[in-house]
Amino acid sequence: MLHFLHPWVVKAGRQGKEEYALLALAIIVGIQLLGCVASTRSHATRLFEASSGISVAGACLFTLLIRGTYFPRQIISTLLVCAWGIRLSRFLYARNKKIERHNILARICWSLLCALPVVIANTKQMEMYRATLIEMFWIVTAAVAIGLEDAADVQKLRWHAHYADIQRPGKSEQVAPVCTDGLWAYCRHPNLFFECLFWWSVFFLVLPTTNTERYLIICPILLTCGILVLPGGIMTQETQRNKDYEFYPSYQHYKKTTPVFFPMKAVHNIMMQIAPHAAETLCLELTMYNTL
């Protein structure tokens, strides 16, 4: 549809990987800056929040339309990212949480890491796509990850809505002061686990097309590390919970019996009885999560 713009973006005889990466960055920055300006004018930070997912989806979709080569892998990976982006923006808009705008640079970097493998795959003029079991596995895994991430976010929103007008469970109560319903009973951060699973699935889906760009593996690696240890991810949430609920027996029980990242509660509890130190390492129970 927009393939007539391709000669304006890429010079003749070039594949355009660098140009399309810069184009994706420009789209991401533009959409997020518009969201930032709009939220300032309307005093609704939810618009800035919602721009994150839309900017990633927009970067992937526009590069696909401008390149004009609609191979199955390009279409499928782009549609998956668009579905993820719309879901995330819808959730962030509904959450309406106050945020600090100084983290806009980190959001732009995060968005570019998410979009880059699909953007580079969209620059290819030809690809070998076969509906093998491996291809189907990554497609299904990515689609399931979107659904389960959304389910986890909805379960947490409902939990917070339930306690919006009443006091959270106190120290003497059996119920933990954090969401432990549904997927949250299997691990303490199921939404972030399925977030990582989705991006690794997308990366492996486009890998046969981008196998000459081995450096792209840094994208899911950095996204995973960011979720695990950078501010705004698991470390921030765990530290805040430790500060707020350090002396809550119900929370300490939930924390002791529920893995932090992988939704394998039964395996986690068995390993904690057999080899606690090995279980903490394999289940990513990092020391920094227990600091105040």
Percent of the chain whose pLDDT exceeds 90: 28
pLDDT tens digits along 257-280: 888 898 888 887 787 778 777 777
Whole-angstrom Cα distance, residue 101 to residue 116?
Answer: 23
The domains of the chain are located at 1-128, 130-292
HSE at residue 114, side-chain half, CA atoms within 13 A, is 29
Structure tokens at 179: 């969401």
Instruction: Please indicate whether residue 24 or residue 288 has the higher confidence score (pLDDT).
Output: 24
Contact 32, 38 (CB under 8 A): no
* Local confidence band at 44 (pLDDT 50, 70, 90 cut-offs): low
pLDDT band for position 41 (cuts 50, 70, 90): low
Nearest partner of 74 among 82, 84, 64, judged by Cα: 64
For range 71-91, the mean pLDDT: 91
Band of pLDDT at residue 291, cut at 50, 70 and 90:
low
pLDDT confidence band for 287 (50 / 70 / 90): confident
- pLDDT value at residue 42: 59
241-to-223, 248, 289 alpha-carbon distances in Å: 23, 10, 10
Q: What are phi and psi of 54, to 5 degrees?
A: -65, -35
- pTM (2 d.p.): 0.89
Instruction: Name which of 146-150, 176-180, 216-220 the model is least confident about.
Output: 176-180
Per-residue pLDDT tens over the stretch 51-74: 888 999 999 998 888 877 788 888
Write the Ramachandran bin of 43: left for phi over 0, alpha for psi from -120 to 50, otherwise beta. left
pLDDT one-digit tens code per residue, 123-143: 887 666 666 788 899 999 999
How confident is residue 200, by pLDDT bands cut at 50, 70 and 90? very high
Report residue 243: phi and psi, to 5°.
-70, -40
Q: Tell me, what's the pLDDT at 27? A: 85
> pLDDT tens digits for 224-250?
999 988 877 898 888 888 888 888 888
Q: Which two tokens stand for residue 19?
A: 């140009």
User: What SS3 string covers the chain?
Assistant: CCHHHHHHHCCCCCCCHHHHHHHHHHHHHHHHHHHHHHHHHHCCHHHHHHHHHHHHHHHHHHHHHHHCCCCHHHHHHHHHHHHHHHHHHHHHHHHCCCCCHHHHHHHHHHHHHHHHHHHHHCCCCCCCCCCCHHHHHHHHHHHHHHHHHHHHHHHHHHHHHHCCCCCCCCCCCCCCCCCCCHHHHCCCCHHHHHHHHHHHHHHHHHCCCCCCCHHHHHHHHHHHHHHHHCCCCHHHHHHHHHHHHCCCHHHHHHHHHCCCCCCCHHHHHHHHHHCHHHHHHHCCCCHHHHCC
52 or 104: which carries more pLDDT confidence?
A: 52
pLDDT of residue 144: 97
